[in-house]
């Protein structure tokens, strides 16, 4: 997997709805309940970098707290500060705060399709950044329990795509929810939607 190949993947048109379609039936009830609520902007960062002759990206396991996304697998990110000039900077700033990547590191390759998260009200813009070498990482223990480096080749593998019953707050179980199994971690929800769009770009 050479650099030129990776660049060419992110020059393609975004699959958008096609990438999000497998998750739609699980989201419909939450979208309907929260349809009238205002959507708040947020941003996440998908950092790609070479390591051991292969391309990798970063996922984080969020620390346990009293909130909707406690303990979930995610990309570094969050809501904009009043001083953020734009959402790309938000993604970079959150990466600095959560995992220690300086805001001036990483070439912006692509902005993926926005993902609305009904339960929290955020509409998330995912920004893809390319690094020429593996960044030095330092997790913020208040927000990040673990940083996981995942190979792009593992994301592409068919066996990484699974279905699993997911328990969410309120005693609701999402039956046979489409997920990713990466580095023995279950990735579901909005992060899975974003990853599926990345996967489709890599495989198209």
Q: Give me the pLDDT at residue 133, please.
A: 96
Residue 182 within any structural domain of the chain: no
Task: Name the domain count of the chain.
Answer: 1
- CA dist 14 and 102 (Å) reads 27
pLDDT digits (tens, 9 = 90+) for 64-92: 755 554 568 999 999 999 999 999 999 99
Higher-confidence residue: 36 or 175? Answer: 175
- Short-list 150, 151, 162, CA closest to 188: 162
pTM to 2 decimals?
0.93
pLDDT at 6 over 90: yes
Residue 125 within any structural domain of the chain: yes
- CA dist 90 and 74 (Å) reads 16
Q: Give me the pLDDT at residue 31, please.
A: 73
pLDDT digits (tens, 9 = 90+) for 111-145: 999 999 888 889 999 999 999 999 999 999 999 99
Strands, E, within 18-63: which ranges? 40-51, 54-62
Output the CA–CA distances (angstroms, integers) from residue 159 to 116, 149, 162, in the order listed: 27, 18, 7
Q: Give me the pLDDT at residue 26, please.
A: 75
pLDDT digits (tens, 9 = 90+) for 12-49: 999 999 999 998 887 777 777 777 788 899 999 999 99
State mean pLDDT over 102-111.
Answer: 98
Residue 166 within any structural domain of the chain: no
Averaged pLDDT score across all residues of the chain:
92
CATH of the domain at 11: 3.90.79.10
Q: In the chain, which ranges are continuous DSSP H helix?
A: 3-9, 17-20, 24-33, 87-99, 152-156, 189-203
Q: Give me the pLDDT at residue 194, please.
A: 97
Q: Give me the pLDDT at residue 70, please.
A: 55
Pairing of strands 73-74, 172-182: unpaired
Residue 13 within any structural domain of the chain: yes
- What percent of the chain clears pLDDT 70, i.e. is strictly above it? 95
Residue 177 within any structural domain of the chain: no
Residue 150 within any structural domain of the chain: yes
Domain that holds residue 21: 3-155+188-203
- CA dist 34 and 27 (Å) reads 11
Q: Give me the pLDDT at residue 36, please.
A: 77
Q: Lowest mean pLDDT: which of 59-68, 79-88, 159-168?
A: 59-68
Residue 29 within any structural domain of the chain: yes
Q: What are phi and psi of 11, to 5 degrees?
A: -90, -10
């Amino acid at each position: 997997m050479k650099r030129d190949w990776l660049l060419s993947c992110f020059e393609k048109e975004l699959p958008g709805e096609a990438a999000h379609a497998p998750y739609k039936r699980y989201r419909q009830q939450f979208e309907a309940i929260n349809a009238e609520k205002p959507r708040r902007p947020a941003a996440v960062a998908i950092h790609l970098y070479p390591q051991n002759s292969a391309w990798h990206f970063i996922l984080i396991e969020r620390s346990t707290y009293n909130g909707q996304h406690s303990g979930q697998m995610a990309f570094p990110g969050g809501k904009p500060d009043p001083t953020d000039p734009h959402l790309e900077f938000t993604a970079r700033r959150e990466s600095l705060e959560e995992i220690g990547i300086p805001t001036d590191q990483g070439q912006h390759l692509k902005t993926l399709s926005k993902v609305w998260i009904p339960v929290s009200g955020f509409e998330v813009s995912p920004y893809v950044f390319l690094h020429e070498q593996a960044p030095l990482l330092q997790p913020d223990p208040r927000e990040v329990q673990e940083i996981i480096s995942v190979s792009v080749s593992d994301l592409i593998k068919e066996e990484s795509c699974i279905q699993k019953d997911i328990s969410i707050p309120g005693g609701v179980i999402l039956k046979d929810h489409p997920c990713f199994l990466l580095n023995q971690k279950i990735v579901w929800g909005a992060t899975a939607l974003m990853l599926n769009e990345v996967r489709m770009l890599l495989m198209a």
